[in-house]
Amino acid sequence: MARKNLFEVSETTGEHSAPDAARTSLVRPLMGLERPLKPGRPVGAISQSLENINSRAQRAEEIERKLSEGQAVVELDPTLIDESIVIDRLGVSDEAQASLVAQIREHGQQVPILVRPHPQDGGRYQVAYGHRRLRAVRQLGRPVRAVVRDLTDAQLVISQGQENNSRSDLSYIERCYFAVKLETKGFSRDIIMASLGVDKAALSKMIALVARLPPEIIEAIGTAESFGRQRWAELADLLEDRGKRARALKAIQEPEFAVRTSDERFRAIHDLVRTSTRKPDQTVWTAANGSRLVKINDSETKMTLAFDKRVEPEFASFVRERLQALYDEFRQKITD
């Protein structure tokens, strides 16, 4: 359904056309009527008066005004609507989407979505919020009920975020990930705070948390609705260890991982990296003369050598100066 067919407007007039000014006033750009409406041919013997034409024009102007203010709900072809400039969800379960489809099938679409005319394609729209409802009516093969507003990019993401916040519709990690996506798109912190309804300190924590987590793990786990800031921060702390991070990245590739619920996926990764670390092996290297010179801590990801300068003050510097020679010897050995 093209934008020019949002409203079916029919004007029945007499043999005499309305003045050019009257016809020009019928141009309704937000309604998709980019050319003046032409009076129709006479029906029967009675012509409509110019006053009737003006009355209809006034009603059309009222519809146009409401549409421009976002007050009118119209029906659109869902195939003409594209996604938002920033996706805020980390996925929706098949069960939740099926439930929404069943609800709309039985009761109809009760809440309209919000869209704007597409900034690059005059024949299309871009959704601000209502992605799940849009997907559901597409599955049902129905037109989607929508409010159309002329929105800037900033207004679009603020509307998108505030609508989700008002319904507590996004999990904590989704809100954090949405904030990072907005910042990556170049939106200011003020716009992001307005979108998410948070203050500067809270937003900084949200963005910092995502920076500590591999995006592959966030996206593989998904919404994790039962887990908030504290548990995600714990996971981020655990994943600071490169060995644990590598095991987590490997685990999310396993086929059985994807079939779990999002909460189960979070628990699986959290449990894996929390329990998989063995305690470092601690030993002391003793020289032939019995001097206990070096304490060795050997973990899964690193080995540290602690030289006791009280026993042999110059030994640590002696070893440090010969590290390159030792490394060259090591490389030669493994390549022979």
In tens, the pLDDT along 194-233 reads: 888 889 999 999 999 999 999 999 999 998 989 999 999 9
Domain boundaries defined on the chain: 3-69
pLDDT number for residue 120: 87
- Return contacts of 15-24, CB within 8 angstroms, 24+ apart: 15/42, 15/47, 16/47, 18/50, 18/53, 19/50, 22/50, 22/53, 22/54, 22/57
pLDDT band with cut points at 50, 70 and 90 for residue 2: very low
Across all residues in the chain, what is the average pLDDT?
78
Cβ(147)–Cβ(70) below 8 Å: yes
Q: How far is residue 89's CA from residue 157's CA, in Å, rounded to a whole number?
A: 13
Cα→Cα distances 178→174, 191, 273, Å: 6, 12, 26
pLDDT band with cut points at 50, 70 and 90 for residue 91: low
Cα→Cα distances 26→15, 82, 315, Å: 19, 29, 93
Read off the pTM: 0.53
pLDDT number for residue 298: 83
The predicted model gives 289-311 an average pLDDT of 87
Least confident of 52-66, 80-94, 184-198: 52-66
Q: How far is residue 231's CA from residue 249's CA, in Å, rounded to a whole number?
A: 18
Q: Which residue has the higher pLDDT, 123 or 68?
A: 123
